[in-house]
Every structure is written in structure tokens, then in C-alpha cells.
Amino acid sequence: MTDTAPIRPEERFDEEVVASYLRANLSELVGEGPLRFDQFPGGAANLTYRVSSESQELVLRRAPLGDVAKGGHDMEREHTVLSRLWTEYPEAPRAFHFCADPEILGKPFLVMERRRGHVIRAQWPPSYRHDPKIRARAAHNLVGGLARLHQVDPSAVGLEEFGRPEGFVERQVEGWARRWEAAATREVPDMATAAQLLAANLPMPQTAVILHNDYKLDNTMLDDDGNLVAVFDWDMSTRGDPLVDLGTLLAYWADPDDPTFLIFGDIAVTLASDLAKSSVIEQYAETTGFDMSNVKYYEGLALYRIAVIIEQIYARYAAGQTTDDRFARFEPLAPLLAAAAVAKLR
């Protein structure tokens, strides 16, 4: 089964221009013969394409159509991290090239290596479907992958000056509140309440680590046996409080009694039935040694942030900037996530 599809009509580009650029700048990588392009259709934001030659496959990534929030969908940031992190963290695919010229592919883009495996979203791969041992292994490996990332020394990969860790959580709270105001298609009172609770209870960070900043199951790739093959989507990566990443993972790790299970479990796949959320926290704490006493704050922050991201995507659909019908279903999600965030923060 292929993981690519024909390029959606509104997301096409001038293939001759891109092929000429790749031949001129990455001749050894792209190999011989004509270049062919198709699309990885599963993502909900950045546009990801495959370029194939007779001997090679590479991946091109660029920001989505239309205006994007400042600081998001940053391909230059993603290239900076992926061109270095792979030496110490093999789950990070290697980035080879960054193109700043928006005339080539519509927006700046990066070229990175191709990995093979399963990006798990709405259904289990066949080997997982009836084997709880594989799903449990995948769950533990997903948590372990995050813990290992947070143990990478930034100076060992030339990222010691990356990001601004001081005041990181405070800037997150302020920044996502601004993004909500810019993206909101309706009033959601719980979003205002969550923003107030987040600002009033800022935690003291334990340390600063390399953050993925959107670490979750469908931003990773796993093989048939539940091993972690790759971690994708580093466009929001930075250095900062490690529990921001853990909070994100927990927000998506919907236990059946979580109010967000209807979003992240019932209509998708969840590893919560194979590894309880409490066990995720325990495994991560045991590996990293970090204090978990304030972890609910970080999960509340993540739920708030996810509500904003979903609203940003839905707003693009409502404005006609994408015809992907999946995004029509996003309309009711921000209020549900906002209520869950308030519950965690209280």
C-alpha cells in the first residue's frame, strides 16, 4: 500500500521549476532520470510532497496555503534542527537543503530524507490491529522517544543557542492567546477562562531541553513491530521546558474517561487502552528524573494550544483556502478542548 497520492488541485506547483531547482542544487541527491512528484496526503497543516527519481526518493515540506501565524510552519527552523539533530537522535530524519525563495514551490521549503513505516492516524496497521503486544510496545517506544529527545545535549548537536528558553512558557501562553484572537470563527468563553488560568499559574521550569513542541502519535512513524522509525514535523521546535512536550503527548493520549476521548480516541486510534496515561507519566519520569507534580498545568496548556491549532485549520477551510473536506469536521472541536483545558487547570 502506498502512502502517497496525486497532488490535490489547489496544492499543485510548477513541477518543471522545482525539478530544475533540485537538479541545480541537489544533483547528487536526486539521482538520474526524470523527477516525479506526488503528495503525502495525511497531514492537516504543512504540505509534504515526495520527489522520486530512478534511484532516489526525497521529501519536500512547505507551509500551508494562505497566511500563517507568525512563528508557525517555519521550514527554516525545521531545517536547522533536522540538519543537526540526526547525529544524536536517529529518530530525526536528516534535512539536506533549505530554499528560502518562495517562487520555487510557492513558499520556502526544505528537502529531507524519506523514511518508511506507518504514520498512524485513523486506523491501525494490520500488524497492530489484533496484537496488543505490538500496540503496547509502540506506546512504550513513543514515550521513550520523547524521553530520549529530552536527554540530548543541545551543545552536542550545535543547538545550544537555539530558541529562547527563558520565559518560554509565558510566551507560549501569550502567543497562543493572540493566535486564538486572530483565528477564532466564533466566541468560546472557556478559551478566555483557560488563558486567564494559564497566565495566573505560570510554573518554574526545571531545565531547558530541545523541544519538538508537537510530539504525538501521528507526528511519528512506527514499523510493523511497534518500533519508532521517525519523528516528523519539527517546524515549531525550540529549546524550553521539557514538560511542555509531555503535556502535548498527554493531551492527545485520551483515556476512555477523558472528555476529549470523543476527539482523540473514539473517532481515531489511541494507545491509552494499551498504556494508561498515568503509566506514560511514570515511564517518562523514571527515564528523565523530572518532577511531575505540576504536570496537569502542562496538559491544560496543550489542550488550549490544540484548540487554537484546530481553529486555525478550520478557519482556512471556512475561508476557502483548502477544499479538504476533513476540516469541515473541525468546527465543534475548539469548545470541547477549551472546556477540557479549564477542567485540567482548575
Q: Is the model's pTM score more than 0.75?
A: yes
Give me the pLDDT at residue 322, please.
Answer: 77
Span 262-268, average pLDDT: 69
Give me the pLDDT at residue 41, please.
Answer: 87
More confident position, 7 or 71: 7
The torsion angles phi and psi of 18, rounded to 5 degrees, stand at -65, -45
DSSP per residue, 126-175 = HHHHT-HHHHHHHHHHHHHHHHHHTTS-GGGGT-TTSS--TTHHHHHHHH
Span 297-322, average pLDDT: 90
Give me the pLDDT at residue 1, please.
Answer: 55
Residue 44 pLDDT more than 80? no
Residue 266 pLDDT more than 60? no
Residue 267 pLDDT more than 90? no
Would you state the cell numbers that stand for residue 19, as one nine-digit string?
Answer: 525539478
Confidence of residue 164 (pLDDT cuts 50, 70, 90): very high
Give me the pLDDT at residue 49, please.
Answer: 96
Span 258-280, average pLDDT: 82
Give me the pLDDT at residue 255, please.
Answer: 86
Would you state the cell numbers that stand for residue 54, as one nine-digit string?
Answer: 530512478
Give me the pLDDT at residue 112, please.
Answer: 97
Give me the pLDDT at residue 320, please.
Answer: 79
Instruction: Compute the distance between CA of residue 212 and CA of residue 235 in angstroms, rounded to an integer.
Output: 8
List domains and CATH numbers for the chain.
9-113 (3.30.200.20), 126-345 (3.90.1200.10)
How far are the Cα atoms of 1, 149, 317 from residue 4, in angstroms, in the given order?
9, 28, 22
Give me the pLDDT at residue 288, please.
Answer: 98
Span 311-335, average pLDDT: 83
Angle, CA 285 vertex, CA 283 and CA 289 arms, to 5°: 135
Chain segment 114-150, per-residue pLDDT in tens: 999 999 988 899 999 999 999 999 999 999 999 999 9
Would you state the cell numbers that stand for residue 117, as one nine-digit string?
Answer: 513505516
Q: Is 130 exposed, middle or buried (0-12, 13-18, 19+ CB in 10 A)?
A: exposed
Span 297-324, average pLDDT: 89
Q: Which amino acid is at 247?
A: G
Question: What share of the chain has pLDDT > 70, as a percent?
Answer: 96
Instruction: Compute the distance between CA of residue 220 and CA of residue 229 in angstroms, rounded to an integer.
Output: 8
Give me the pLDDT at residue 5, please.
Answer: 93
Least reliable range by pLDDT among 144-153, 158-167, 188-197, 311-320: 311-320
Would you state the cell numbers that stand for residue 289, as one nine-digit string?
Answer: 528524573
Residue 18 pLDDT more than 90? yes
Q: What is the mean pLDDT of the chain?
A: 92
More confident position, 262 or 248: 248
Confidence of residue 69 (pLDDT cuts 50, 70, 90): low
Span 247-273, average pLDDT: 83
Span 236-240, average pLDDT: 96
Q: Helix, strand, or coil here: 251?
A: helix
Residue 343 pLDDT more than 80? yes
Give me the pLDDT at residue 208, please.
Answer: 97
Residue 70 pLDDT more than 70? no
- Residues with Cβ within 8 Å of 93's Cβ and at least 6 positions away in sequence, in order, are 59, 82, 86, 112, 113, 114, 115, 230, 232
Span 195-217, average pLDDT: 97
Question: What share of the chain has pLDDT > 90, as a percent?
Answer: 77
Interior/surface letters 60-76, b for 16+ CB within 10 angstroms, e for the rest? bbbbbeeebeeebbbbe
